[in-house]
Amino acid sequence: MIQFILPVVVLIFLMINISLGSVRIPLADIVSILSGDEVRTSWFNIIWQFRVPKAITALLVGVGLSVSGLQMQTLFRNPLAGPFVLGISSGASLGVALVIFSFSFFGVALSQFAGGSWLMIVAATFGASLVLIVVLLAAQKVKDSMSLLIVGLMFGSITGALVSVMQFFSSDEQIQMFLIWTFGSLGGLSWSELNVLGIFVTMGLLLNIVLIKPLNALLLGEQYAQSMGINLKLTRWMVILSTSLLAGSITAFCGPIAFVGLAVPHLARLLFNTSNHKQLIPTVVWVGAIVMLLCDIIAQLPGSEQVLPINAMTSLVGAPVVIWIIIRKRKINNQLS
């Protein structure tokens, strides 16, 4: 039942998201514009060049980060795991910072460089996978998830410090460029950039089809999973690959977006009262999309000209949700570990 409601809710939020913006466009006109009817050229451009790409970006970001968070939480058997907490987003930031700041050496502005978006995405994905691999190597040594979490946070600090050092030696212009990137942004992606993001997120999501079984088995612990014929090494690498593609590409284009990856899997588990990934992964996909679209709707401050940075919004929405879940359910741990 609820599996049918969720897609409908996503569609409704998608429509609300597209209908909001500094220029008021009547809903009826939006519908006809979306169906290809050019009601007014300026409106047509606003919808197709700005609002639709932004809404699709929100959709991809919500889905990608949430699924990545779910994988992390199961793999690390830790309810606090997520692309952000384990330093993966920091890794992506490091990659992006390296690209932005090192461009000064070549005397080219990144915005003028044709392959800029590809370079950013490759750097962020590379940075994300690098940190994830190091965290996983640490996971082989330290068995308890608490230590691992601390290791992840330390990596976050190290990459953060490296970025600070780079900022120290950079021009104001570059620092501003990086700072704006860290605010997170769902807008500003051209259709061609959106294609790139779409391809990466789709690839990352498709990997989950083969991960349902191993992730379920991992809920019983590594020894049981092995005894059921699950290839642990392969599973770990698949999760690394999937999360790097998802979190890496999203962070590259939209900045480090906090909390969605951590909070959505918990929401989905509680909503459906299950940890079985066969039901959980589709649910996380829908809930992730809804949460991100909602955050973006709130960030646009409907009725005003202002738009808040999306990264602030996800934390403002996400943190109270997590606190509420913990207080209401008290046993967030039960869901997972």
Interface with another protein (CB under 8 A):
77, 209-210, 212-213, 216-217, 219-221, 223-224, 226-231, 269, 273-276, 278, 333-337
- Min CB(141)–another protein separation in Å: 15
- Min CB(228)–another protein separation in Å: 5
Beta-carbon contacts of 6 under 8 Å, excluding residues fewer than 6 positions away, are: 283, 286, 287, 290
Nearer to another protein, 14 or 336 (CB): 336
Q: Which of 299, 50, 246, 8 is nearest to 132 (CA)?
A: 246
Cβ–Cβ under 8 Å, residues 169 and 211: no
Nearer to another protein, 185 or 283 (CB): 283
What count of Cα atoms within 13 Å lies in the side-chain half-sphere of residue 178?
Answer: 25
For residue 36, report the phi and psi dihedrals to the nearest 5 degrees: 100, 5
Cβ–Cβ under 8 Å, residues 66 and 259: no
- Report d(CA 86, CA 159) in Å as an integer: 12
Nearer to another protein, 49 or 276 (CB): 276
Nearer to another protein, 161 or 210 (CB): 210
Helices (H), 207-309: 212-218, 222-227, 232-243, 249-254, 260-272, 277-299
- Min CB(93)–another protein separation in Å: 31
- Min CB(235)–another protein separation in Å: 11
- Min CB(220)–another protein separation in Å: 6
Cβ–Cβ under 8 Å, residues 132 and 244: yes
Q: Match 């970001």 to its residue by tokens.
A: 61
- Min CB(189)–another protein separation in Å: 33
Nearer to another protein, 152 or 214 (CB): 214
